[in-house]
Amino acid sequence: MYSDDRSTMPTMPTTDAPPSLVDDDAARLSAAADFVREQDTSVLLARVLPGLDGPELRALTDRCRFAHAALLVFPTDEGALRARLADCGLACDGAAQPSVVVRDRLAARHHRDPADLDVRILRPAVAGPDGEQRAVEVFALALTPGSGSDRIAERERRHDHEAHLAFDVVRPDPLVLRGLLASFARHGAAPDGGGYNPHENGTVFYFTAPAGTKTAYGRVELYACGDHRDVLDEHLADRTDAAEGPAESLLRMLTGAWTTQALATCAELRLPEALGRRPGIGTAELAREVGARTEGLATLLRYLAMLGVVAEDGDGYRLTGAGALLDGRAPSSMRALALMYGGPFYQSFAHLTRTVRTGQPGFEHLYGENHFDHFAHRPELSALFDQSMAASAPMFDPLPDHPVLTAAADATGRERTVVDIAGGTGELLERVLTRHPGLRGTLLERPRVLAAARARLTAGSVGARCDYLAGDFADVPPGGDVYLLSRVLHDWDDDRCRSILRYCADAMSPDADLLIVERLLPTDGSPSLATAWDLHMMCNTGGQERTADHYARLLSDCGLRLVGHTPLPLGAHTLHARPAERVRADVRKVSPGEFVPFGR
């Protein structure tokens, strides 16, 4: 394995001598093959993205594997290229495939018609250190006399824009891809294009490597099998944002309110349901179906198309993957969330300045009561809020496999119980009980929410293993083996969080575990969903997002100890806490004045 000193790489590019300055394509191919043979995925990821370590490095290593190093060469024809490959010990029996992505990049960079550039891909196989199958990805643009390709070759050999390292995404889905793209961006990799190749049914996402990268390659690729153009559109939009000037960037930010209202209007009109029934429907007919003016709907649809929520399809429109999530019938639908963010929460943000100045949540100033009481008096709004909470359910996907839950399910001697505190309609508890048939569940909630949860869970396969307890935080039942506290603490200030945690600590036996699901604020100022939600909680509930150390202090104040935390989708984490060994008898009881009613 190469050290971080680039001078140890024979014939590989260095800071002073990029690969484009090596005129002999055979030498470049040979050096790339040696590099691919010797790399370990985990070590290479840490070198590509300086600062990547710990749980996030393990998570990325689980989700992607090093696949190839790529370079662009300029043979006179395919036969000459195969001869060069053979000289390097690189055998390639397969037929060369068209490269749509590199062809389009070259065409844009050199102001050429893509139809005039025949770029091909060959992938001679190379074995990794443990025998895993890898490749040297070779892009080839033939030097055709009179075509001007020699001028392209001269410039590309000088800058070598297409040389990159590639990682294949394991079992890609939109949620996994978005998480990986966010991790790369968080560690300084800048979006740098990409595309969908219909010949291979694969989607590529390119990044410019961070300035501190410890490899000689300036670009990185993530490759995902399948058509992921919806995620790609977001990736390309990120690249566009990065290329904007300050004025353009600020205008885009200032018009964010328009985006919120456009999405809420899309949901309110039930455009996704109508487009789902009849993809490609014309604007006039769609307007009649949803009860809108044709001209007004056409303006809205153009804006939604710019956002990537719908796409033009002939004379009409169709939904994208993002737009389909606004369909109220979709699994993990985000329709309710759009209506909440475009409705009461949108209104409360008009009072953010007052919140920043006084500390009073904008919601309370606007409506005269906290948002939990406000929703409790309005059943339709309360139901919408509960539905909006369910929209974030994908963050729960890995949680049932947490070692604490697995250990409880595998324990012998008696049936173990999982207590979900303020668990809403039971989305999380249902996932845990479905994953572990040997566990029982107890759901503690307000009476109205509990009725909806009972109806939902008894209609499924886990209802017979679930008990239902109406109450508040003061009613946390003893005897549970694992307690769940999901997206609760961020609703409250520190004093009320301590009250909630003391109720939990009082109920827990010395052998019980507490799993807390929250977003964690970054400690290094890196972009994070938690930073946005921190502002949201301050303005709407008076709560806040916190760092892991902050949660550790709150837990310690209540006789609990933070054991560790692991990442979840959508920027969330699972924090694992246990009773501190020495303080079970010393945990201060909660006084009546510290009573905290439920709020989620």
Query: What is the DSSP track for 96-135?
Result: PEE-HHHHHHHHHHHT--GGG--EEEE--EEE-TTS-EEE
What tens digit of pLDDT does each residue of 137-150 get? Answer: 999 998 877 667 78
pLDDT per position as a tens digit, 381-415: 888 887 787 777 778 888 999 999 999 999 988 89
Helices (H), 147-200: 149-159, 174-186
* The CATH number of domain 393-594 is 3.50.50.60: no
Residue 160: predicted pLDDT: 80
Best CA proximity match to 555, nearest among 524, 583, 519: 583
Is the model's pLDDT at 40 over the cut of 80? yes
Instruction: Kindly report whether the global pTM for this prediction surpasses the value 0.85.
Output: no
Please, which residues have CB within 8 angstroms of residue 299's CB and are 6 or more apart in sequence?
none
Q: Is the pLDDT of residue 241 over 90?
A: no
Residue 146 φ then ψ, to 5°: 80, -5
Q: What is the pLDDT of residues 465-491, one digit of tens each?
A: 999 999 999 999 999 999 999 999 999
Distances (CA, A) of 493 to 344, 522, 552, 575: 21, 19, 15, 18
Strongest mean pLDDT among 3-7, 230-234, 360-364: 360-364
Instruction: State the Cα–Cα distance between residues 456 and 124, nearest whole angstrom.
Output: 54
- The answer on pLDDT for 592 being more than 60 is no
Mean pLDDT of the chain: 85
Task: Tell which CATH classification among 3.30.365.10, 3.30.300.30, 1.20.1370.20, 1.10.10.10 matches the domain 255-342.
Answer: 1.10.10.10
Mean pLDDT of 569-587: 74
User: Which amino acid, one-letter code, is at 102?
Assistant: V
Give residue limits of the domains in the chain: 6-243, 255-342, 393-594
**Tokens found for residue 448:** 């109205």
pLDDT of 175 over the 90 cut = no
Asked if 272 contacts 326 with a C-beta cutoff of 8 angstroms, the reply is: yes
Indicate which residues carry an active-site annotation: 490
Q: What is the CATH number of domain 6-243?
A: 3.10.180.10
Length of the chain: 600
